Amino acid sequence: MTPASPFGERLAAVFAAYGRLCVGIDPHAGLLDRWGLPDSADGAREFGLRVVEAASGRAGIVKPQAAFFERHGAAGYLALERVLQEARDADLLVIGDIKRGDIGSTMAAYAEPWLKPGSTLEVDAITATPYLGLGSLEDTLRTAEAAGKGVFVLAATSNPEATAIQRAVLQQSSRAGSSIGGAIVAGVSAWNAGRPDVSGAAFGAAGVVIGATVDLAAAGIDRDVEPPRPGLPVLAPGFGEQGASVADARAIFGGYSGGVIVSESRSILRSGPDGIAETIMRHADEAVIAGA
pLDDT tens by residue, 247-257: 899 999 999 99
Residues ≥6 apart with Cβ < 8 Å to 163: none
Cis bond before residue 230 (omega within 30° of 0): yes
Q: Is residue 239 over pLDDT 70?
A: yes
Give the number of residues written for the chain: 292
**All domains of the chain in start order, with CATH:** 7-286 (3.20.20.70)
**Residue-level pLDDT at 173:** 83
99 part of the active site: yes
Residues 269, 274, 279, 280, CA torsion sign:
positive
Question: Residue-wise over 206-230: b if at least 16 C-beta within 10 A, else e?
Answer: bbbbbbbbbebeebbbebeeeebbb
Amino acid 86 reads E
Q: Is 275 or 292 the better-scoring residue by pLDDT?
A: 275
**Residue-level pLDDT at 1:** 30
Q: Is residue 226 over pLDDT 90?
A: yes
- How many CB atoms lie under 10 A from the CB of residue 25? 27
Catalytic residue among 63, 99, 116, 149: 99
Q: Is residue 241 over pLDDT 80?
A: no
pLDDT tens digits, residue range 122-155? 999 999 999 999 999 999 999 999 999 999 999 9
Averaged pLDDT, 21-42 = 98
Q: How confident is the model at residue 201 (pLDDT cuts 50, 70, 90)?
A: confident
CB 264 within 8 Å of CB 241 = yes
